[in-house]
Amino acid sequence: MNLILLYLLLLKATATSFSGLTSLPVVRNDFVVHRQLLTDRQLNAAVVAGRTVPGPNGLYVVSVGYFIAGIPGACAGWLALISPAFVMIPLLRYVGARAERPEIRSAIQALTLAAAGLIASATIPLARDALHGPLSIAIAAGSFLFMVFTERDTLWIIGGSALIGLLAGLLG
Amino acid sequence: MQHVKGRYTETSGMPEDTIAPFSLGRFTLLILRVANLTFGGGDPTMAVLFRELVVSRGWLTRERYGLIYSLARATPGTNILAFCAGAGWQVARWHGALVAVLAASIPCAAAIVWFTYAYTLWRSNPLAMSAIGGTLAAAVGMMFAATFQLCRPRWKPGNRLRAAVLVAGGFGLSFGLHMPPIEVLGLGALVGLVWRPSET
């Protein structure tokens, strides 16, 4: 795939999201559904990779770029990840005072809530790919509860679920 | 070395002798350490940076930190990188913004490339795939949790109907009607402009 196009498509996803995984529906729509350059399993693995290493939650786009076009793709993903951050500077200089305007805050809140619905929608196909039996469903439920009710690091979820999967593989 | 004295003490709100001397190198090392060694995404990282930049070093005032934090939340893309760009620009203008974003993103980007490469190597190994299968199932739970956690702060008395309509609308338009995500988000923002939460 053309790297500039890859960068622009990933930039579209990162520049229209307001937190890490909210770009996921756009990425899935472009690369899994329309262009079929990525499978749901790879996208899911990219999300796991993004949650496994420290750093921003949106880092998974680097992994998406790597799956599509190797190291150059990862570079395109990294550029798409960092580019929107520089929008911050004109915002800080010129429109900082307006960030607290009620209509702007309301629009951002609404957009975030709509993004939550979009994430749930994008998770369902990934769940179909990843959940195949009682054990995987139990792992998914356990990781949900762990995330919601504890403050512990997500590395515990990744390590614990990998260990459970490994033990299940060893036992048969 | 670029010192805080004069230029930043006015905004730090701390006595000059308690402010750590500022240099771009020290600032870069701080961002490098905090952004690449803090797990859990932007919020924990920005919390650690509050302690380091405001409380421990006095390079930013609480008010300036609050403004940068709010704007980072309103900036498209990854909040923590926008925060680093804003904090860097505040303390050392364009050089600061550039090194902060690079320091916050390059090491963890290299780590994720390594992890993804390892995944492609291990996918032919049944035991490794069992372990990876466990992590993929966990990712599903984490993504549902992300949905829940995005909604929870807005799920307040007086605003629950609005929150429910927006979340259900986003889900239904995408999953049921297959509307492209950007259109769903744009529609969500438009609804937010006309239907405001009660606390604002």
pLDDT in tens, A125-136: 878 888 989 999
**pLDDT higher for A106 or B44?**
A106
Nearest to B119 by CA among A49, A132, A64: A49
Taking only the tens place, the pLDDT of each residue in B173-192 is: 988 998 877 788 789 889 98
Within 45-64 of A, beta carbons closer than 8 Å to B belong to: 45-60, 62-63
Nearest by CB to residue A113, choosing from B115, B127, B163, is B163
pLDDT at A32: 93
pLDDT of residue A97: 62
Q: Which residues of B touch A154 (CB under 8 A)?
A: 39-40, 142
pTM higher than the cut 0.80: no
> Which residue in this structure is represented by tokens 């750093």?
A55
> Under a CB-based contact definition with an 8 Å cutoff, are residues B138 and A44 in contact?
no
Q: What is the pLDDT of residue B100?
A: 96
CB atoms within 10 A of CB B178: 10
The tally of CA atoms less than 13 A away on the side-chain side of residue B28 is: 15
The residue to which tokens 């960068």 are assigned: A7
How far, in Å, CA of A57 to CA of B100, rounded? Answer: 17
Which ranges of chain A does DSSP label H, i.e. alpha helix?
3-15, 24-27, 40-52, 60-82, 88-90, 102-130, 134-149, 154-171
pLDDT value for B35: 86
Q: Does residue B8 register a pLDDT over 50?
A: no
Q: Does B66 touch chain A (CB under 8 A)?
A: no
Inform me whether the C-beta atom of residue A74 falls under 8 Å from chain B C-beta atoms: yes
Q: Which among A26, A52, A91 is the nearest to B71, CB-wise?
A: A91
Residues in A 108-167 with any Cβ partner in B closer than 8 A? 108-124, 126-127, 129-132, 135-137, 139-148, 153-155, 157-158, 160-166
Tens of pLDDT along B72-125? Answer: 877 888 888 999 999 999 999 999 999 999 999 999 999 999 989 988 887 778
